[in-house]
Structure 1
Amino acid sequence: MDRREFTASLLAGGCAGMCVDLALFPLDTIKTRLQSQQGFQKAGGFRGIYAGVPSAAAGSFPSAAAFFVTYETSKTLFGDFMAAPMAPVSHMMAASLGEVVACLVRVPTEVVKQRTQASPSTNTYRVLLSTLREEGLRGLYRGYGSTVLREIPFSLVQFPLWEYLKSLWSWREGRPVHSWQAALCGAFAGAVAAFVTTPLDVAKTRIMLAKAGSSVARGSLPSVLYGVWRSRGVSGCSVYTRRRSEARSEWPE
């Protein structure tokens, strides 16, 4: 990737992620409260649906930019060493690496954002100070492992499917796809990936929102999922609204 492509990936990816995250923030708040252990109404219901938006605004651009720069760079590098039939594998590897890097920025802002969303009576600054005071910097990265384990399967499904749909559409029309066509492919791929990874997102939210020192806060994805299944059944693992799938579907061709 040359300098011009790098800059394009940085700016376009960051802007796409930030615009979609902010536009769909109320849906993300509702999703977080539905997934919280205390329940939707106790977590705030429909009140203060923009609680936590400063954290989202601060982290959205750099995390999305980090993902797309890593994804595009890795995809090019892996593609140079792999034959054309192995393209889906290179896309999977690039997307997974992109998620690992992006989560370094995404997780701290996600922790603060979700805790503010689930406690609308407070604000982002107070939640940040409280987290640092009670758990230190490590508290901001609680749920990093579960987030990565949620994001990687999502990307393993979404990006190869997205690239395949774009190439299929391009082949049928005999030309490169337009941006709106790439967006439709991304939206469909993101919906499929979101359906598959919903339970993992529920567990990630529970871990981030759990009280410091509790069994859930210390728990792993399997143990938390098992607890959700025991208390709320299959429906408890299926409460979900996805944002980043739409952000990635906006990636220009």
Structure 2
Amino acid sequence: FHCRFFVAVLAGGCAGMCVDLTLFPLDTIKTRLQSQQGFYKAGGFRGIYAGVPSAAVGSFPNAAAFFVTYECTKSLLGAGGALAAPHVAPVTNMLAASLGEIVACLIRVPTEVVKQRTQACPSSATYNILLTTLREEIPFSLVQFPLWEYLKMLWSQRQGHTLHSWQSAVCGAFAGAVAAFATTPLDVAKTRIMLAKAGSATASGNIPLVLLDVWRSRGLPGLFAGSMPRMAFISMGGFIFLGAYEKIRRTLL
């Protein structure tokens, strides 16, 4: 158990740094596309590496915290009882991913706030941002990780042996793209809340109201603003992140 704990820390942390630093420019573009100021007023293509230091500082502990929680929860829930049955594996994965996101968000949110304000300016309350982030990240993980695990299982069964790391990475890319598109409106709301001026209605963190405001002002395209770079970012991120995690984990175990 202790060995798996440290492996999850190292593999998760290294994978997190790899993906965050590699794909940082796409994340900046996505943030500016979703900004209330508009893409060009928020900075356009200028300084797309703004915020790299805060991302680098937060990425290792954030990813490490997620995977430690994810793996430990899966192990504990799968050790016996009703949740150990194969047919309820998606439920186990959902619970593990949700807990992982809650723990990781405690680290991610402060660095995410610093990073996004560097990318596109303004200010808001961190507590509201934490709640908003959880409301986005938990649904995202509820889609991504069970789908990732399911695709790995399906592919493994088809070929008759455990997947290679690159195959796990492909599954991660597909699962990430699906989850990214499905949760784009929540990401738009989170970005607007993060970039809102303190004391404004948007800064209160009321996601339905923010989404309604986006719908009224920009319609459906506004709700899915930045979906393509978000899907590209998360799909590539899923490939690097989950592929690197599997590779490092297997190397260390």
Q: Are 1:245 and 2:238 an aligned pair?
A: yes
* 150-159 vs 240-249, which moves further: 240-249
Is this contact kept in 2: 1:210–1:217, CA < 8 A? yes
Closer, same or farther: CA 140–205 of 1 in aligned 2, 3 Å: same
Structure 1 residues 77-125: Cα deviation after superposition (integer angstroms, max 9, x where no partner): 1112321111110000000000000000000100110011004xxxxxx
Is this contact kept in 2: 1:70–1:97, CA < 8 A? yes
Residue 78 of structure 2 aligns to a residue whose secondary structure is helix
Is this contact kept in 2: 1:9–1:69, CA < 8 A? yes
Query: What is the alpha-carbon distance in structure 1 between the residues aligned to residue 43 and residue 52 of structure 2?
Result: 15
TM-score (norm: length of structure 1): 0.89
Query: What is the alpha-carbon distance in structure 1 between the residues aligned to residue 205 and residue 117 of structure 2?
Result: 18
Query: What is the alpha-carbon distance in structure 2 between the residues aligned to residue 84 and residue 249 of structure 1?
Result: 22
Query: What is the alpha-carbon distance in structure 1 between the residues aligned to residue 132 and residue 238 of structure 2?
Result: 18
Q: Give the count of matched residue pairs.
A: 236
Structure 1 residues 13-55: Cα deviation after superposition (integer angstroms, max 9, x where no partner): 1111111111110000000000010000000000000111111
* 1:124 aligned residue: none
| Code of the aligned partner of 2:17 | M
Q: In the TM superposition, what is the alpha-carbon distance from 1:146 to its structure 2 partner?
A: 1.1
* 1:173 aligned residue: 159
Q: Out of 95, 100, 105, which is 1:98 matched to?
A: 100
* 73-82 vs 210-219, which moves further: 73-82
* 1:190 aligned residue: 176
* 2:24 aligned residue: 25
Q: In the TM superposition, what is the alpha-carbon distance from 1:249 to its structure 2 partner?
A: 2.6
Q: Out of 197, 203, 227, which is 1:217 matched to?
A: 203
* 1:122 aligned residue: none
Q: In the TM superposition, what is the alpha-carbon distance from 1:172 to its structure 2 partner?
A: 1.1
| Code of the aligned partner of 1:54 | P
Q: In the TM superposition, what is the alpha-carbon distance from 1:140 to its structure 2 partner?
A: 3.5
Is this contact kept in 2: 1:111–1:141, CA < 8 A? no
* 2:219 aligned residue: 233
Structural RMSD (CA): 1.5
* 1:155 aligned residue: 141
| Code of the aligned partner of 2:77 | F
Identity percentage of aligned residues: 67
Q: In the TM superposition, what is the alpha-carbon distance from 1:245 to its structure 2 partner?
A: 3.4
Q: In the TM superposition, what is the alpha-carbon distance from 1:246 to its structure 2 partner?
A: 4.2
Query: What is the alpha-carbon distance in structure 2 between the residues aligned to residue 192 and residue 46 of structure 1?
Result: 26
Query: What is the alpha-carbon distance in structure 2 between the residues aligned to residue 71 and residue 61 of structure 1?
Result: 15
Structure 2 spans left out of the alignment, 5+ residues: none
| Code of the aligned partner of 1:220 | N
* 1:111 aligned residue: 113
* 1:207 aligned residue: 193
| Code of the aligned partner of 1:201 | D
Q: In the TM superposition, what is the alpha-carbon distance from 1:142 to its structure 2 partner?
A: 3.6
Query: What is the alpha-carbon distance in structure 1 between the residues aligned to residue 241 and residue 213 of structure 2?
Result: 32
| Code of the aligned partner of 2:102 | V
Query: What is the alpha-carbon distance in structure 2 between the residues aligned to residue 84 and residue 40 of structure 1?
Result: 46
